[in-house]
Amino acid sequence: MKLLAIADTYIPAEIMRAGLAPLADCGVDVEVRQWEHESLIALQEANLAIEQGGPEAVPLPEELCAGLESVEILVVQFAPVPARWLRQAQALRVIGVLRGGTENVAVAEATARGICVLNTPGRNARAVAECTLGLILAEVRNIARSHAGLRQGRWERQFPNSREIPELCGKTVGLVGYGAVARLVAHYLVAFGSRIIAYDPYCQGDPAPATLVSLDELLRSSDVISLHARLTADNQHLLGAAELARMKPTAVLVNTARSGLVDEAALVAALQAGRIQGAALDVFDCEPLPLDHPLLRLPNVTITPHLAGSTIDAFRTSPRLLAGHLARLLAGEEHVPIVNHVRPAWRTATS
């Protein structure tokens, strides 16, 4: 059985090979090809274009898809898998995506062709959760602003929130979306003594330590709101001007998920007018941020360049996690993260 994996700058070929190596015990022949970029920034730009425009938005070098006719398992992280690839890959039975989102795959076409699409939920959950906690603290305690001031020779003690600098103990933190990342954030914040509430209409099982509430209650009650929902057509601009207006004037908004969850222009307006206390953002509608972007001029924001999930541990773990999912799928086990409800029909020679 042939598996083709497309590595990239974040998960290079050597890490991809090492992570997928255990599949040799399942009779899988692994080939790794590298999608080359000049820099991590160039890869991030391509990824953003794909997230916003779909798998057809960014063309891949033709050599990456050479011989697709004989590939039964395709593994990608950010590389797009357009419908034309699927029409070419007559033997393809499984697409494995090395992250939670599958925006880079023509899932509808795959489903129509009976191709199973797997994702890797939670693969960088700890990385994003830890960065989220860091951004919360950086914004409410003015850590980044103080650091920048000292580097420029200023001993600053006056900030936009100087009259309302809080401790997290006893404060209410609202989590929008309550998947793997948010649950880790919730447990971290319990150690700070925070009260945790969450909004997630798809949440299943025991939500402890969070209490599930409506979005309206979360907006009105939270001192910190942190976004962890997956972006879909249904929740684009989930937080717009009306929702931001329902937040406490002393509240802080944190986004390490997807920029499209928030109306960025409305957020800028709310921050400029002081309708909310501040924001900490790792994701933006346009990346890298243009030098004239208003967020760069606001004194009540902490911003980072889309790095929340980027740790060496997350990148090393991802191929190993997916290899485990694929091994269970090959063994016919049920508990596998299939996103399109299609179980593969293996050819007779490989069944």
Catalytic residues: 258, 287, 306
Question: Do residues 65 and 37 make contact, with C-beta atoms less than 8 angstroms apart?
Answer: no
Q: Name the strand (E) or helix (H) holding 40.
A: helix 40-53
The residues near 291 (Cβ < 8 Å, ≥ 6 apart) are none
Of the candidates 261, 287, 175, 180, the one whose C-alpha atom is nearest the C-alpha of residue 225 is 175
Those residues whose C-beta lies under 8 Å from the C-beta of residue 280, and which sit 6 or more positions away, are 135, 136, 138, 139, 252, 253, 254, 255, 301, 302, 303
- CA 61/CA 64 separation, integer angstroms: 6
3-state secondary structure of 124: coil
The one-letter code for the residue type at 257 is A
Query: By three-state DSSP, how is residue 238 classified?
Result: coil
Of 303, 242, 304, 294, whose CA–CA distance to 271 is shortest? Answer: 294
Q: How far apart are CA 19 and CA 67, in angstroms?
A: 23
- Give exposure, 248-267, as e/b (b: 16+ Cβ within 10 Å): beebbbbbbbbbbbbbbebb
The DSSP result for 202-219, as a single string, is T--S--TTSEE--HHHHH
